[in-house]
Structure 1
Amino acid sequence: MRDEDAIRLGFAGDVMLGRLIDDRQRKRSVAAVWGNVETHLEALDGLFINLECCLSARGTPWTDTYRPFHFRADPDWAIPALNAVGVDWTNLANNHMLDYGPDALRDTISYLDEAEIAHSGAGTDAKSARAPAFVSVDDLDIAFVSFTDNTPEFAAESDSPGTAHVEFDVTDDKAARIVGDSLAQAREANPDLLVASLHWGPNMRTEPTVEFREFARWLTEQGVDVVHGHSAHVFQGVEIVDGTVVMYDTGDFLDDYAVDSERRNDRSFVFELTVEDGDCTELRLHPTEIYDLAVHEAEHYASNWSMQRMDTLSSAFGTQFEREDDGLVLSI
């Protein structure tokens, strides 16, 4: 039984609101993208996502290097949709933030700021891209730092906008210094919870690399409480490292992507973390699936498939979930 004073924080993977979803949303209600999970998301005390597109009506597709896909959503509906389910913070360190150039990135930041949705991982220069974001949920103060190893051509520089880019390698002195500086800046605010949100690795990888696991351990040593991973488009296992909750990849939560029939990038979870007295005490996974250009509670077969797969992937790290109420539960 969870304490009534416990704080429930929801983490989700990639949320891509562009392309076919953007087209459909011009003909349906703002909250339609959240399908039948809208009520669940609204009930969470905090909700955190990776925003896998820019929010703008401006800009031109990035052509400096070959890019087969460009993602952009109309902020006139996208911001109200994020507000409808109470998104509190979003990661911007990913490989689609500059799909429509620096003007669209600046618009994304401006619209999020106006909506009072915190963000980290991209900015008008390297300093702002690497800066932590801060969110208060009830009486819980949370700090976020965000980085990506994707698309180095999108990296912010001292005098140009872009993403917070590093190579996730603990033997890379530059990466350790850059990420370490951001974490130190976050710790100066003395947050109750420190989250590292990382857009790392290639598409469709079902397990983290040895290098990523080593980096997660290094983050634990730096005082990180939660690692919020994304990028693979498929969920990966969960590991608890000295009390740190490591969600190596939270998968795809909402998009219009073609579905891999084996890896099932249309299936994932709401990763619901319970915090009591400043400590992470429980992780609940609620299976979801994407269809009709919206996210939904996973139906029976898809739900069982996802739970069994998460069990298998996580058990390799010594993580043992329990099944409860059509979901997975892990005591921390």
Structure 2
Amino acid sequence: MSRRAVALVVAAVALCVGCTSGSTPFARTTAGATPDGRSTTVSAPSSSTSGSVAPPTEQGRFTMAFAGDVHFMDQVGERLARDPATVFGADAAMLRGADLTMVNLETAITTGGDPQNKLFTFRAPPSALTALRDAGVDVATMANNHGADYGDAGLRDTFAAIASSHFPVLGIGPDADHAFAPYRTTLHGVKVAIFAADQVQDETTLPLFSAGPHKAGVANAYEPRLITAVRRSVAAGYVTVVYLHWGIEYRTCPSTDQTSLASALAAAGASAVIGTHAHVLQGAGWLPGGTYVAYGLGNYLWWRTFGNEQDDNGVLTLDFDHAQVVGARFAPSHLTDSGVSPPATGAERRRILAEWDADRRCTDLAATPPH
């Protein structure tokens, strides 16, 4: 076996251990307090609230928080180089309140590799994973159109960084089995599984780097195995959540690909479907059967500001009562020149909340859970 093959096998084992076994160091069993001592009592930042808010400390009830796109280029990279523990700044307080917090990590984890033939290529050193953990993020997806920006060498570096960091990353792997593997944990006595996949049809990532039986890459959301995996997860007794990279850039309304996949995942039993990619907020709410869908959460930790709605984002916290999402709270934030998105206040907060609610109008989603 070649040295390259050995490296991929080692990374494959580490990735599998990190994402699929509830008994591994990556798994997180929450009952009153997290392993690092953080309280599981959810803070209540200024937010838009839909549905009844479940008491987060009761058995069977738990919270999950989601933010959008994160990467570490330019001024954010400079912050990372100075101190990974402080990259997110004031944002960290918004991320630490839930029982589990997840973001989309939109970058290759490498200092080498070969940039692909595309307009933007993103990469970050392994300390990016340290920054996520220190900010209160528990798991990230790399199933997106930038996870393979630095080719096969960048993928190998990414797998090695994930393995050495013991930070759980979904949606990418040395083969399809690992890319489609869920992160599993237990929250307040409830078994939870999270899947991630990429639905963005760019010219490089899905055509060249969709994970296959013997090919490294990202989980391709167009493959039927995503729906099959969710159905099996639900049948095995897991509350199942899916985080997707999807949508058409700069459009606040979901595409037909988005709505079709959301409906299929809901039919398979997913309790929540979360997404990002469009660089703007998209609509969120409940499907008639009770699945909560958030089509787009915007740019959260980003390398530049735009002076328009692309700077609007927020942290979405979902309240679960076992498999049901019974409440949703959106805490608006706004991207600054430093690359971070502190909580919005005053008129800016009211404007973003109105935008969040207005984006629901072009969806078939309800503002409150079905009764």
Q: How does 1:159-308 map to 2 (within 5 A)?
A: 159-167=214-222, 175=223, 177-187=224-234, 189-191=236-238, 193-241=239-287, 242-259=289-306, 261=308, 264-291=309-336, 292-308=338-354
User: C-alpha separation between the residues in 2 aligned to 1:103 and 1:187?
Assistant: 36
- 8 Å contact 2:285–2:366 — kept in the other structure? no
User: C-alpha separation between the residues in 2 aligned to 1:206 and 1:55?
Assistant: 29
Greater mean alpha carbon deviation, residues 207-216 or residues 312-321? 312-321
Within the alignment, does 1:140 sit opposite 2:190 as a pair? yes
User: C-alpha separation between the residues in 1 aligned to 2:212 and 2:262?
Assistant: 25
**SS state at 1:285 partner:** strand
- 8 Å contact 1:225–1:243 — kept in the other structure? yes
**SS state at 2:249 partner:** coil
User: C-alpha separation between the residues in 2 aligned to 1:11 and 1:319?
Assistant: 18
- 8 Å contact 2:300–2:335 — kept in the other structure? yes
TM-score by length of 2: 0.76
Shift of 1:122: 1.1
- 8 Å contact 2:172–2:179 — kept in the other structure? yes
Structure 2 residue ranges without an equivalent (≥5): 1-52
User: C-alpha separation between the residues in 1 aligned to 2:177 and 2:130?
Assistant: 29
- 8 Å contact 1:229–1:249 — kept in the other structure? yes
- 8 Å contact 1:56–1:108 — kept in the other structure? yes
**SS state at 1:94 partner:** coil
Shift of 1:189: 4.1
User: C-alpha separation between the residues in 2 aligned to 1:17 and 1:137?
Assistant: 30
User: C-alpha separation between the residues in 2 aligned to 1:279 and 1:55?
Assistant: 35
Q: Which of residues 134, 139, 143 is equivalent to 1:89?
A: 139
Partner of 2:15: none
Partner of 1:11: 66
Q: Which of residues 61, 78, 86 is equivalent to 1:23?
A: 78
| Cα shift readout 1:189-236 (whole Å, capped 9, x = no counterpart) | 421x21121111332121102332122112111011110111111110
Shift of 1:240: 0.7
Shift of 1:185: 4.4
Shift of 1:49: 0.9
Q: How many residues align?
A: 308
User: C-alpha separation between the residues in 2 aligned to 1:105 and 1:258?
Assistant: 28
Greater mean alpha carbon deviation, residues 41-50 or residues 141-150? 141-150
Shift of 1:43: 2.5
Partner of 2:124: 73
Q: Which of residues 84, 87, 95 is equivalent to 1:41?
A: 95
Amino acid at match of 2:86: A
Shift of 1:51: 0.6
Backbone CA RMSD of aligned residues = 2.2
Partner of 1:119: 169
- 8 Å contact 1:22–1:74 — kept in the other structure? no
Shift of 1:278: 4.1
**SS state at 1:208 partner:** coil
Q: Which of residues 45, 60, 64 is equivalent to 2:114?
A: 60
User: C-alpha separation between the residues in 1 aligned to 2:226 and 2:85?
Assistant: 36
Greater mean alpha carbon deviation, residues 18-27 or residues 236-245? 18-27
| Cα shift readout 1:75-116 (whole Å, capped 9, x = no counterpart) | 13x222111133222111100111112232233233334433
Within the alignment, does 1:157 sit opposite 2:212 as a pair? yes
User: C-alpha separation between the residues in 1 aligned to 2:261 and 2:364?
Assistant: 18
* Structure of higher RCO (CA pairs closer than 8 Å, 6+ residues apart): 2
